[in-house]
Chain A
Amino acid sequence: MSNDPNFTGAGGPTTEELVFDAKEAQRRRKPSTMQRVGDHMKREWQLYVMLVPTILWLVIFLYKPMYGLQIAFKDYSIFRGVANSPWIGLEHFQTLFGNDQFIRALRNTIIISFYGLIFGFPMPILLALMFNEILKQTFKKTAQTIVYLPHFVSSVIIAGIVITAFSPSAGIVNTFLGALGVDPIYFLTKPEWFRPIFVGTGIWQEAGFQSIVYLAAIAGVSPTLYESAVVDGASRWQMMWKITLPSILPTIIIMLIIRIGNMLEVSFEMIILLYQPATYETADVVNTFIYRQGIQGGQYDLAAAAGLFNAVVAFVLVMTANAISKRYSRTSLW
């Protein structure tokens, strides 16, 4: 084998040797992954600088606390600290699953999440489709602003509005029912009313804002698709069904995966603001359970176990949703 490019003597390198040499040279010329990343960082350092705050945020608020997760498997006491508390295996998990309140919280979480998904998920899509059909720009802008507004209002104020609206004495709902001859209902003390009110509040607060994502997706659909359909004779209704919806379907699926991943993250501050012991039966969710046991009751290790369980279930949900979507619709988050 010859590495000498000037080698031309009789019985020179065979084809095989030449191919080998060429491959060898190619291998040597191809930079390693490290080298390529390094080069990229040097060239595009601005991008990496912009990434720094997010990485810091992740490390400080998401990765560092993971260290404390181990107390889910320990008999934790603040005096001994995280490292020195003794390991006790799965005892906290056994306690949890023997605890009626936890089981109830788990069931409520699933039911409320499920309602949220069924009623809350389609709402922003419907809104976006409706906005898209409004031709008059001023009306469209006004309507959009009005439905975006609740998103920018603090949950405390939203809860205040809801509590006032459903108040048995002066609330607008009961006033209206009174006019129809119905006796006042103490909505917020009735377990059977909690879930509808909670889910409805969530929709009112967020649906408008969430519709922005779908509006953006709709804006990305090529106008010639519609023009072509118009020439073909499609009505507005047909265009919505046959063009707009299928075109934004990938966005819908991505949003659905994200939504399912966050499904167990019921907005617990809103629950805390709206629930009361009388409605725990239908309102208490895992996060409020953790809050009461852990923060108020000082059982940090038990609360950590409950939180970890919640996270594991959420993780499994995202993975499953992603896998299903990848398989059936060519769309996936990763």
Chain B
Amino acid sequence: MSGVRLEGIVKAYGAVQVVHGIDLEVQEKEFVVLVGPSGCGKSTTLRMIAGLEEISDGDLTIDDRHVNRVAPKDRDVAMVFQNYALYPHLNVADNIAFGLRIRKESKETIASSVEEVGGILGLTPYLERRPADLSGGQRQRVAMGRAIVRRPKVFLFDEPLSNLDAKLRTQMRAEIKRLHKRLGVTSIYVTHDQVEAMTLADRIVVMHDGRIEQIGSPMDLFLNPKNTFVAGFLGSPPMNMVKATIAAGDQGPVAEFDGQRVQLQQIPALTNAVGLEVILGIRPEFVSVADQNDPNLVGLDIDLVETLGSEALIHASLQGEPFVIRTDTVGQMHILDGIKGFTIEPNLVKVFDAKTGEALPGQVLEQ
């Protein structure tokens, strides 16, 4: 089973520890994305798996083999780098063949592998070109070709799309996903872009300051973030955060702020938390726009309505912070003019402890 297991993986540069004990089990054929802000230790973790960085502490297992002290070439992994790492003096075919040549494969094997990979990635017309004569997307494909051609047990990607423009990135993202479906190779993918993470991953690993914050499927993390960091990191536009205090209302717990109130879910963690200072996590997608006739209206200072065709973004402010609502425009255009705020279903409001940033237990959102 070509899985990868990290147990208590630590990386220290001298006295400075940058990765503080990572536990992660990647299943065979799984596509796992490490996501987090720049500098949180994603690359370092990936490079330890590749063998480019020494592991300071902990155990790394690939395919049930302990590989802490195994040389990169013997780990049977292939890595795709952000800047492509193509050899400028070699043409596309030779770049793809590089790893096979190093391994002294036969001429026929090399030729047929290069041809096959060129076909898979649509590079056949460019095999004779040098990297300098390729577009960014084509270079990225060559870089992937170099990884694929070796048929490794594990693919490692370090921000492979960051050097591409937005449109190409979307396109290549889909291509990577398709490729993974086709080849079914265990993949670990590093990015700081939450959209990439959401679209590509079977499971997302959210990292922060050298630690794992949460692991789960994209939808699970989107609906049930463990803390305000994960909640704020995933989703675009990001989750709105509102400071409030829990109080007892007529129909169960409510959150109060600035003389307004939001009905909350009736679960013990909330009913027993009256008086607790909390942060309400409100996804822009989960609210309904409302006018002043709505009894449950939460008032906002509406700033600007951006109509994007099928949907609209309403920019407003609450507690002096920006508050964004995302809404379908179809059949709703007439109310966008008169809106004064929003309403939200109690079970769609995520409640976090203001002190710790942790989600209060017992709130589970299902798809």
Docked Cα-Cα span, A230 to B89, in Å, equals 18
| Residue pair B52, A232 in contact (C-beta under 8 Å) | no
| Residue pair A238, B89 in contact (C-beta under 8 Å) | no
The smallest beta-carbon distance between A137 and chain B, in angstroms, is 15
A231 touching B102 in the complex, CB below 8 Å, given contacts A243-B87, A246-B89 = no
The smallest beta-carbon distance between A266 and chain B, in angstroms, is 34
The smallest beta-carbon distance between B94 and chain A, in angstroms, is 10
Q: Is residue A234 contacting chain B, with contact meaning CB distance below 8 A?
A: yes
A249 touching B89 in the complex, CB below 8 Å, given contacts A230-B73, A231-B78, A232-B102 = yes
Docked Cα-Cα span, A249 to B87, in Å, equals 13
Q: Is residue A26 contacting chain B, with contact meaning CB distance below 8 A?
A: no
| Residue pair B89, A231 in contact (C-beta under 8 Å) | no
Q: Is residue B167 contacting chain A, with contact meaning CB distance below 8 A?
A: no
| Residue pair B89, A225 in contact (C-beta under 8 Å) | no
Q: Is residue A224 contacting chain B, with contact meaning CB distance below 8 A?
A: yes
The smallest beta-carbon distance between A155 and chain B, in angstroms, is 38
Docked Cα-Cα span, A225 to B98, in Å, equals 11
| Residue pair A225, B87 in contact (C-beta under 8 Å) | yes
The smallest beta-carbon distance between B79 and chain A, in angstroms, is 5
| Residue pair B89, A228 in contact (C-beta under 8 Å) | no
Q: Is residue A293 contacting chain B, with contact meaning CB distance below 8 A?
A: no
Residues on A with beta carbons closer than 8 Å to the beta carbon of B81: 224, 227-228
Residues on B with beta carbons closer than 8 Å to the beta carbon of A243: 87
| Residue pair B73, A233 in contact (C-beta under 8 Å) | yes
Q: Which of A225-267 contact B (CB under 8 A)?
A: 225, 227-234, 238, 242-243, 246-247, 249
| Residue pair A225, B102 in contact (C-beta under 8 Å) | no
| Residue pair B89, A232 in contact (C-beta under 8 Å) | no
Docked Cα-Cα span, A14 to B103, in Å, equals 69
Residues on B with beta carbons closer than 8 Å to the beta carbon of A142: none
Residues on A with beta carbons closer than 8 Å to the beta carbon of B146: 228, 232
Q: Is residue A296 contacting chain B, with contact meaning CB distance below 8 A?
A: no
- By a beta-carbon cutoff of 8 Å, the part of chain A in contact with chain B is 222, 224-225, 227-234, 238, 242-243, 246-247, 249
Closest 6 CB pairs of A and B: A233-B73, A232-B99, A228-B85, A246-B89, A224-B85, A224-B81
**What are 23 pairs between A and B in contact, CB < 8 Å?**
A224-B83, A224-B85, A225-B85, A225-B87, A227-B79, A227-B81, A227-B85, A229-B102, A230-B51, A230-B72, A230-B73, A231-B52, A231-B72, A232-B98, A232-B146, A232-B150, A233-B74, A233-B99, A233-B102, A242-B87, A246-B87, A247-B89, A249-B89
